[in-house]
Amino acid sequence: MRSVRAKAAVGATLVVAVALVVAGLSVLFLLRQNLEHAAGLQAEVTARETASRFALDRDPDLSDAEERPVQIVDGNGCVLAVSPGVERISGTGSGGVRAQECPGRDADENESGSDSDDDTEEPEDPEPGQVAAGGAGLSTGSVTVGGDTARYRFAAVEATRGDDGVTATVYAGAPLTTEESAVDTVRDAMLVGLPVLLVVVGSVTWLVTRRALGPVEAIRREMAAITHSEDLSRRVPEPGSGDEVARLARTTNETLAALEASVERQRRFVADASHELRSPIASLRTQLEVGAAHPELLDVPGAVEDTVRLQQLAADLLLLARLDAGERPGSARIDPGALVREEVSQRTGDRVPVTVEGDAPEVVGSRSQLARVVGNLLDNAQRHARGAVTVTVRAVGREVLVEVADDGEGVPEDERERIFERFVRLDDARTRDEGGAGLGLAIARDVAVRHGGGLTVGAAPGGGAVFRLRLPAA
């Protein structure tokens, strides 16, 4: 069962089935309890009425054996009276269905009678009978009348007859046929209605899920077509419902757009890298071939320069590949002022001197990558400066700001974001002897972003360009 629609339909049906079964059993239990309680109250009323008549030495009403079966049993288990027509009875004090002679009681009465004959005093008036107070005892049994057996709810009430002081228990029953009939009716209705309701729930869930997942299937088909055609310019349809499926389609299109841009950037990167590698390799090969044919014409400094340029380009490409692969920055604590001064100290023979000012708190990151950023910014500033480069290190709020300013011509405002793209060089930096491959600033910004900061360019107060490197303080 791999279909979401089938899983949803089956799941909803099972949940509803369990809920209905539990609810149905609870209803049947409560209905049975209430009906048995009502039958018990009815039996108690009959038992108390019969006990009252017994206590007053009146004949009990034993006429209706089927609707109101009654049995009176004394303390010795002797049946004093029972409703006529009862063939079998259970759940009472005795299983007898006929009034019995009780020898023990008769002997007691005779003995008491003989004593009264010898007594010369006048007999006292008999005390009135009593019915036991409190709730009646309840039990469940069965009664057979006319060959038909039915279940009954019996109530037991004790009563004492006033004329002879005999204590007996009156058992009166109320039929449970109504309870059984009602429970059976409700149960049958549930057994018939439950499957129908489950079919309806399953069908409705299937249809609703099918309608809800229709746009998802359209998205899947379009994604399959995009995968087959490798055309990342295509987009999946966005439903106008505004629900989760619409947001999924919108996110999918955004992902496709980002993927298309990434693939296009990768293609351009490969093309530009191939172009940049081709030039120094071709130049180096030419010089080596000339040197092999005419050793006296070999330009060793030019070959070394081309080799160095090729080595730097390979290192830049390797670093960019690591950054694109998600390489995380280190966790070393670095003094940005000391790092800048260390980089500047290695440039004693450069054309343009560098001045370092200020200091700032430590930052956390990769020392080699941050040194690469500072070096790239210094290279760029010295390449375009007329006579001076100034580096300022200071704390701004919870960030460390490193500003590299030069007194050159500056960067046009409409080119200030473009220069951070890979293999992008402005027109005045396209000569091989002055400009690099156009990767230094791109690498610097990528490293800054991965360290939680950023890199921007603006106009220096005294003219020229100022690059601002922001890093979070440790």
**Is the pLDDT higher at 374 or at 102?**
374
Pairing of strands 86-90, 454-459: unpaired
CB within 8 Å of 230: residues ≥ 6 apart: none
- Percent of all residues in the chain with a pLDDT value above 70, rounded to a whole number: 91
Give the pLDDT confidence of 55-76 residue by residue, as tens digits. Answer: 888 888 888 878 889 988 888 8
pLDDT at 448: 92
Greatest mean pLDDT among 165-174, 206-215, 319-328, 389-398: 389-398
Q: Is residue 1 scored above 70 in pLDDT?
A: no
- Contact yes or no for 187/176 (Cβ under 8 A): no
Residue, of 237 and 303, whose pLDDT is higher: 237
d(CA 115, CA 266): 128
Instruction: Give Cα separations from 409 to 116, 336, 440, 469 (angstroms).
Output: 146, 27, 19, 20
User: How confident is residue 301, by pLDDT bands cut at 50, 70 and 90?
Assistant: confident
Q: How many beta carbons lie within 10 A of that of residue 50, not counting itself?
A: 26
Q: How many CA atoms lie within 13 A of 93 on its CB side?
A: 23
What is the per-residue pLDDT for 454?
A: 93
pLDDT tens column, 15-58: 888 998 998 899 888 988 888 888 889 888 988 888 888 888 88
d(Cα 419, Cα 421) in Å, to the nearest integer? 5
Q: CA-based Rg of the chain, rounded to a whole angstrom?
A: 53
* Mean pLDDT confidence for 352-376: 91
- Which pLDDT belongs to residue 109? 47
pLDDT tens by residue, 128-163: 567 776 677 888 889 998 888 888 999 999 888 877
- List for the chain the helix, strand, coil content (%; round to 5): 50, 20, 30
Residue 468 has what pLDDT?
Answer: 94
In 3D space, the residue among 398, 407, 332 whose CA is nearest the CA of residue 371 turns out to be: 332
Q: State residue 220's pLDDT score.
A: 86
Over residues 96-112, the pLDDT tens digits come to 888 776 655 544 444 44
The answer to whether residue 390 scores a pLDDT higher than 50 is: yes
